[in-house]
Amino acid sequence: MIPLNVSLSHYKRADIQEEIIANAKDREIAVKYNDNFGKRPDILRNAVDILELAKQGATSFHASEELWRNPLQIDTSMRKHELDNLRKGWDLVLDIDCGIFEYSREAADLVIKALKFHNIKSISCKFSGNKGFHIGVPFEAFPEKMRNDETKKMFPEAPRKIALYIKEMIKQPLGEKIMKFEKNDFNAIIEKTGKNAGEITYYSNKARALNAEPFLNIDTLLISSRHLYRMPYSLHEKSGLVSTPLNPEKVLLFRKEFAIPKNVRISKHRFLAGDNAQNDEGRQLLTQALDFDIRQEADSLREGKELEIPQNALPEELFPPCIKLILDGLEDGRKRALFILVNFFTSIGWDYDMIEKRLREWNAKNREPLREVYLLGQVRYHKQMRKKILPPNCSNEQYMLGIGVCKPDNFCPKIRNPAQYTTKKAWLINRESKGKTKIKAESTKTI
C-alpha cells in the first residue's frame, strides 16, 4: 500500500507529470488505486489529470503497448479485425523478471546487446519498479509491411515471437553471467530461486552448467490485446519504488536506491521515444524472429513420436486443463490451438468424423472463428499424413504456454504431453477398476 501523502508528493512534480503525459499519447490508460484498477478504457490528456487522479488515491498509471487512433472507442465486444482497424501500431515492450533483481539486471543487459546485434538503435530501458526491467523498441523502428502483412496488424503475434527468439538467444550467456555473479555457487542460486538442482543444471562437455531458463521470465503469455505496462515514473505498489527510465548502456550500474521517490531524477533517455527511430531498423529482428518461429514449429513436428493410438476414443472428462480451456474458445492463438487439437484428438483414438464435429463446435466459441475452409483444410491435410504425431509438449513455449492455456492441476506434474495426460489417466482408471466396466468408449473406430 502506498500512503496518499507519498503518491501526492510524487505526482505533484511537474517534471513527472510531463513525462507521464508524453508517454500517454495514443495509448489506452488504466489507473490503479493500490489493489484495484479504475475504469477502462481511459486516457490522459494533460498534467492536471495526473494530479487530480492522485488526489483521488491513484497510485500508479499503466499504458497499452498498442497505439490507437482513439483509445476511448475500444470495446470488449470488438472482434479482432475491428481492433486491427482501430490500432495505429504497437511498441515492443520486453518485460524481464527473473525474480532476483541482480539476475534481471544481467538479463536486461543481454537483451539490450541482442537488440543491438540486430542493428536496433532506438532501444530504451526502464526499471520496472520492483525486481525487473522493461526494454522498449518503438513502433517507428519497424517496417510498415512484413511479407505482405501490415505490421500494425501483427499484434500480439509479432512481439511474442520476438520475445521467444530473444529469450532463446540469451539463456545460455545469462547462465554464465549468473554463475560468475554467484562465484560458481550453485547452492546460492538454488536458495535464491527456489529451484531444485535438477531443474537448473545441465552438462556441457562434462562440465556442470547453469540452465537459467526455469527462472528467466521474458513475459510472452501476457503479450495480448490491451496488455498494459507500468508507465515511466509511475510508483510500484509493492515496493514503493519508481519505474525509472535509464540509459540502456548503463543498466548494469543501476541500483534500486536510484528509484526511491525522493532520489528520482528525470532521465534524458525517454522510454519508447520514437523520434529518433529509423524506419526499417527493426526489419532484421522481426525477420529473424518470424523465421525462428517457423523452425520451432518444424522442430515440434520432428519431436513428435509415432504413437500407439488407443483402440477406443477416450472421453472428454479425461482431457487435461489446457485442452478444456482451448475448447472453451480463444481470443487469439486459434491456428496454433487447431494444430494442438487435431494432433491431440488423433493421439487419443478419435476418428476424423468426431474430430471435425468437435472442431466445428469449438470454432463457434472462438471470439473470431477461423474460416471454415481453413479449419477443414487442416483436418484433411492431417488425414493424409502417413505419420501421426503427438501434440506439442507442455513445455513448448510456442503452444500451450504461448497461447496462455497452461493452467496445471495436480496430475499435470506427472506428464509431459497433453495426450499423455489423457492416456495415463485412462490407464490408471482401468487398472483401478480391476476388470470391472472400463471407460465407456465414445467410438470403436480407429485411425
pLDDT in tens, 38-63: 999 999 999 999 999 999 999 999 99
Is the pLDDT at 99 greater than 50? The verdict is: yes
Which of 355, 40, 358 minimizes the C-alpha distance to 226? Answer: 40
For residues 275-288, give the mean pLDDT: 90
* pLDDT number for residue 392: 86
pTM score, whole prediction: 0.73
For residues 258-282, give the mean pLDDT: 93
* pLDDT number for residue 299: 57
For residues 231-250, give the mean pLDDT: 97
Reported confidence tier of residue 310, pLDDT bands at 50, 70, 90: confident
CA triple 248-253-254, angle to 5 deg = 75
Is the pLDDT at 212 greater than 70? The verdict is: yes
State pLDDT tens for residues 160-195.
889 989 998 999 999 999 999 999 999 999 999 998
What CATH number should be reported for the domain whose range is 4-287? 3.90.920.10
Question: In the chain, where are the structural domains located?
Answer: 4-287, 306-433
Is the CA virtual torsion 191, 193, 195, 200 positive or negative?
negative
Helix %, strand %, coil % of the chain (to 5): 45, 10, 40
* pLDDT number for residue 300: 53
Is the pLDDT at 245 greater than 70? The verdict is: yes
> Mean pLDDT over all residues of the chain?
88
Return d(Cα 20, Cα 63) in angstroms, integer: 10
Instruction: Return the amino acid letter for 355.
Output: I
CB 120 within 8 A of CB 52: no
Which of 337, 347, 328 minimizes the C-alpha distance to 374? Answer: 337
